[in-house]
Amino acid sequence: MTDATITLSDPQEVLLLFGSQDRFLRKVRDAVGLDVTLRGDEIRLHGSDDQIKRGLQVFAEMRGIVERRGELNDDELAGILGRTNGHKPPASEAAPADTEDALPRLDKVKRVGPRTPGQAEYVQCVRANELVFCVGPAGSGKTYLAVAMAVNALRLEQVKKIVLVRPAVEAGEKLGFLPGDLLAKVNPFLRPLLDALHDMLDYEQVKRYMERDVIEIVPLAFMRGRTLNQTFIILDEAQNTTVTQMKMFLTRMGQGSRIVVTGDTTQSDLPPTMASGLMDAIRRLERIEGVGTVHLTGRDIVRHRLVKEIVKAYDDDAAANSHRRKKG
């Protein structure tokens, strides 16, 4: 029996290599037959010469994926273990050919993935950063892909909870006059997020996760005073946040959490004299490491073909009006 040592440069790497509740570590131990222990910043391997050789190969490939993408998933680990065992993993375990971009749904065969280069950039940006701002027109997939990424992170146990947030700007003082309890009052403002969720999970799954507080859909005002750890948080329609609200929201981020902020700057419901928290935050934060910004365009619209034409018509008209004002 022999030993080998792998020295880690970053404590965070241990969490990524071992997986939540050490599930990756258990799979490596079972597949290779190694005894693996962690001492400080060192992973120590104990086993036969062949086991040590395979173990070092497995961890080298795992570290390579973590360094490239900042994360490792179950499909990728299954592929690594299959290769080091000298055979290809079963089809159900093998990583799909398009694993860099495709987003598996939780319990369905059909996959969600980017359909334009801009959307592919968006997906990669979310994978590479802890905080991402995505600005784009209606129908460009801002919210849908963010929800898909959140569901996938939950499936892979990278987070323990999903929180979907939306400002209820139009409600304001009128909220109390709407019929029903609080959930009924805010439901129209949160409905688009719920629709995206139901498109990826069946009704019973969504209901079960919401009852267990694994998935939470809340108005922005309800975020004050909270700290969310190991949570995938999405703020939709962020162009309707004020600077103060955006600061409040972003500072809810806890350890192990990710935030995606989406919005369409052409559809703000704020008073004309009030600054948008979305654009203000992008200006202040986009140079910070770990913060990414993606700008989608009309070329990324994937709804009905008329949506792209409608957006273009309004944009052209706005541009023409702006040109006339400058000339006048």
Q: Token pair for residue 82?
A: 């299959």
| Below-50 pLDDT ranges, the chain | 87-110, 170-179
What pLDDT is attached to residue 100? Answer: 43
Buried b (16+ CB within 10 A) or exposed e, 92-102: eeebeeeeeeb
What pLDDT is attached to residue 243? Answer: 94
Nearest 5°: phi and psi at 324?
Answer: -65, -40
What pLDDT is attached to residue 39? Answer: 78
Q: Which residues fall within 8 angstroms of residue 15, CB to CB, at 6 or more apart? A: none
Which amino acid is located at 255 in the chain?
Answer: Q
Separation between Cα atoms, residue 77 and residue 69, nearest integer Å:
14
What pLDDT is attached to residue 98? Answer: 40
What pLDDT is attached to residue 308? Answer: 62
Q: Is 284 exposed, middle or buried (0-12, 13-18, 19+ CB in 10 A)?
A: middle
Q: Which residues fall within 8 angstroms of residue 67, CB to CB, at 6 or more apart? A: none
Separation between Cα atoms, residue 185 and residue 169, nearest integer Å:
13
Separation between Cα atoms, residue 307 and residue 164, nearest integer Å:
25
For residue range 61-74, what is the model confidence (pLDDT) as tens digits?
888 887 776 778 88
Q: How far is CA 265 from CA 114, 206, 262, in A?
A: 22, 30, 10
What pLDDT is attached to residue 280? Answer: 95
* 123 and 103 Cβ atoms separated by less than 8 Å: yes
Unique residue bearing structure tokens 């129209």: 188
What pLDDT is attached to residue 96? Answer: 38
Residues in the chain: 328
What pLDDT is attached to residue 125? Answer: 92
What pLDDT is attached to residue 97? Answer: 37
Q: How far is CA 296 from CA 8, 229, 260, 283, in A?
A: 38, 29, 14, 17
* 82 and 88 Cβ atoms separated by less than 8 Å: yes
Q: Token pair for residue 300?
A: 């990324």
Nearest 5°: phi and psi at 262?
Answer: -120, 150
Separation between Cα atoms, residue 185 and residue 135, nearest integer Å:
27
Q: Considering all CA atoms of the chain, what is the largest pairwise distance in Å, rounded to the nearest integer?
A: 86
Q: Are strands 131-135 and 258-263 parallel, antiparallel or unpaired?
A: parallel
* 4 and 55 Cβ atoms separated by less than 8 Å: yes
Separation between Cα atoms, residue 179 and residue 57, nearest integer Å:
62
What pLDDT is attached to residue 130? Answer: 94
